[in-house]
Structure 1
């Protein structure tokens, strides 16, 4: 440690403390800075969200349960082509339980669909958040027995 081991040890400790302080100032932004970033991000991302069965906001989900009560209808493998302030449009598959002979013993059948989300509204719980309130499915190749080619459902939120 040279001729003055005490001075070398103090210098080494001071350098280490300075390096740690500088490292954490870059790695962990202040709480105020983080809150400001979140507020700016919130203003920048004003596109509506889709509220799932657990009341969680989702953006461009690949899967979504349509029948929250029993899970007998869901969207899977959804690829979103558009997601903006007015509507969201995607393509995917509607997996529907045929409930034959009854739902617990039924078989899920898959039908290709075009999905449209629209009619966005402000959230009652968080007025700064908007969510889509209607989903429209257009069956593109086959459809469940008794279903029209296009069907719309209200979305909760």
Structure 2
């Protein structure tokens, strides 16, 4: 096939394809409006946390934080931590959520150990007290096991 024949065939095929419509497609002037009005939410589905009277949690050092996504359980070496924390409640008395826990086996040493991950651990903060930086939780349990914070 020479170039001219190929170009003519390609142009003809393009014209035929452009004239085709997908099956069951109606011309735009025959379409019926079936959608209802939709207004996108102005904020996320989860209400904003008003932290004015709520305790926070201090992750090793610093100021209280609210609903952090990570918490260190071993501040000295960071060999034990919670991550991807999904807080279900955060009140004046306690906070509860689900997280993943990453722990170093420290075998044969912490420097040469491997990290193991446990998913869906239950996290609870409680026992709030008034500290120099505001109200803070002082007790933490992971799967019912108390952790010193």
Gaps of 5+ in 1: 1-42, 139-149
Partner Cα separation in structure 1 for residue 63 and residue 112 of structure 2: 30
Give the secondary structure class of the aligned counterpart of 2:111. Answer: helix
Structure (1/2) with the larger helix percentage: 1
For residues 86-125 of structure 1, the aligned pairs below 5 Å read 86-112=93-119, 113-123=121-131, 125=132
**Root mean square deviation, CA, Å:** 1.5
Partner Cα separation in structure 2 for residue 100 and residue 119 of structure 1: 34
> How many residues were matched structurally?
99
For residues 4-83 of structure 1, the aligned pairs below 5 Å read 45-83=52-90
Partner Cα separation in structure 2 for residue 73 and residue 80 of structure 1: 19
Q: Once the two structures are superposed, what CA deviation does each residue of 1:59-95 show, in whole Å capped at 9, x if it has no partner?
A: 0000111100110100001000000100000001110
- Correspondent of 2:137 among 119, 132, 139: 132
Other-structure match for 2:23: none
Q: Which runs of structure 1 show a deviation greater than 2 angstroms over 4 or more consecutive aligned residues?
A: none
- Shift, 1:114, TM fit: 0.5
1:152 pairs with 2:138: no
Other-structure match for 2:17: none
Task: With the length of structure 1 as denominator, give the TM-score of the two structures.
Answer: 0.60
**Rg comparison, structure with higher value:** 2
- Shift, 1:44, TM fit: 6.4
Gaps of 5+ in 2: 1-49
Q: Once the two structures are superposed, what CA deviation does each residue of 1:107-153 show, in whole Å capped at 9, x if it has no partner?
A: 11011210000000000x24xx1100010000xxxxxxxxxxx3102
Q: Any conservation in 1 of the 2:51–2:66 contact (CA below 8 Å)?
A: no
Task: With the length of structure 2 as denominator, give the TM-score of the two structures.
Answer: 0.63
